[in-house]
Amino acid sequence: MSETTTLPGVRAAERKAPPVKSFADHALVQLTLVRFRETLREPEALFWIFVFPILLAAGLGIAFRNRPADVLKIATTSPEIARSLAHEKLLSVQQLDSNAAEEALRTGKVALLAVPGSNGSVVYRYDDTNPEGRSARMLADRAEQQAAGRVDPVRTSDQLLREPGSRYIDFLIPGLLGMNLMGSAIWGMGFTVVDARRKKLLKRLIATPMPKQYFLLSYLLSRILMLVLEVGIVLGFGAWIFHVPVRGSLLDLAVVCLLGSLSFSALGLLLASRAKTIEAASGLMNAVMLPMWIASGVFFSAQRFPDIVQPLIKALPLTAAIDALRANMLQGANLANMAPQMGVLAAWLLVCFVLALKLFRWR
């Protein structure tokens, strides 16, 4: 029948020597491209990977920014007192009639009310359980005494310290980076694998001559490509808007991110190795990720948990990733300093990957 085989392209008789394919037509390149395209064409995924961490960093960075000391509002009924208090820059003085002044104090619009007492004295009315009231009392009294001629016996001066590296945003950015590494790897791996299994696409793929290891490799390769973008965007945003420092070597940082991402990908693969529905997979993924979001020190230090659970928390992959990122970015630690964290990540990678390969089902 070989003489009848004229399907465009080739004849069955020519099957001996497969033609050499171009690089772009290699199965691994095509699989990786497909993974990359699928991710970039999923608007929701792009939001969670790229926009969400920036919004979170911006929101928390603004909410917890280090503000200059607040100007406290106070009131007085006397023009003389108002004049002498006006010299204090940290106070904003309003002169009101006595009814309005009482009302303003009662409703908390002013922290303190200064009224003239008998024989030229001044009476401060304020709530001493309110820190603003106590601060206002000290500031107002200092201004009043200085206006009356008091001279401080010791000369003092202030030196203000607002250094990058010790602020909340500096603590937060490495935490968000770690959280992002985990989320994108686990979601990226878990959802797409389970979805392909549910749609019987995995079964269709193994019905072709596709080498099975290429399928897995394509996930890792596209993950590394995405990683460059994800880490770049969060770090770039932190450095540009909040001047978050990166004190360690960038190469070390890249190694930490890569190892972290691979460990989380292996964990994602393990979680997705059997699940047949998206619901089952997302339940599993949330059950694994939620405790780490809370315990691994994304938003606040993991040291706040009791000593007895500390070894457990330190063994979590997200804790290891975030601790290593913070050590690199804030303390300038090198890879040798981060060996314990790297060890934890490598162990997770190995165990999850071996288990996932054992448990994985194509259908």
Partner 1 sequence: MSVGSSKPALRVSGLRKAYQDVVAVNGLDLEVRAGECFGLLGPNGAGKTTTVEICEGLTAPDSGDVELLGMHWNSDAERLRQRLGIQLQDTQLSEKLTVFETLRLFRSFFDQGPGAAEAISLVQLEEKKNSRVGNLSGGQKQRLALACALVGDPDFLFLDEPTTGLDPQARRQLWELIEKFKSYGRTILLTTHYMDEAERLCERVAIMDNGKQIALGSPHELIASICAEHLVAFSAGSNSKKLDVSALRGIQGVRDVRSENGSVEMQVTELHLAVPALLAELSRQNIPLTELSTHSATLEDVFVSLTGRHLRDE
Closest separation in Å from C-beta 208 to partner 1: 4
Shortest Cβ 26–partner 1 spacing (Å): 6
Task: Identify which of residues 77 and 192 has a Cβ nearer to partner 1 in the complex.
Answer: 192
Which C-beta is closer to partner 1: that of 12 or that of 315? Answer: 12
* Binds partner 1 (CB under 8 A): choice among 41, 155, 162, 304: 41
| Tokens linked to 134 | 């106590």
For residue 199, state whether it binds partner 1 (rule: CB under 8 A): yes
Q: Is 4 in the site for partner 1 (CB under 8 A)?
A: yes
User: Residue 6, interface with partner 1 (CB under 8 A)?
Assistant: yes
Q: For residue 233, give the amino acid letter.
A: I
Buried b (16+ CB within 10 A) or exposed e, 249-266: eeebbebbbbbbbbbbbb
| Residue type at position 294 | I
Residue 255: strand, helix, or coil: helix
| Burial track 74-107 (b if 16+ CB lie within 10 A, e otherwise) | bbbbeeebbebbeebeebebeebeeeebbebbee
CB of 47 to partner 1, least distance (A): 16
Among 65, 204, 247, 276, binds partner 1 (CB under 8 A): 204
The yes or no reply on residue 38 touching partner 1 (CB under 8 A) is: yes
DSSP labels for 159-203?
Answer: -----TTSSHHHHHHHHHHHHHHHHHHHHHHHHHHHHHHHTTHHH
Q: Amino acid letter at 133?
A: G
Taking CB under 8 A as the criterion, the residue among 99, 129, 208, 303 binding partner 1 is 208
Q: Which single residue is written with the structure tokens 């990678």?
A: 349
Q: Of 123 and 278, which has the nearer Cβ to partner 1?
A: 278
> Which residues lie near partner 1 (CB under 8 A)?
1-2, 4-10, 12-15, 18-19, 21, 25-27, 29-31, 33-34, 37-38, 41-42, 196, 199-201, 203-204, 206-210, 363
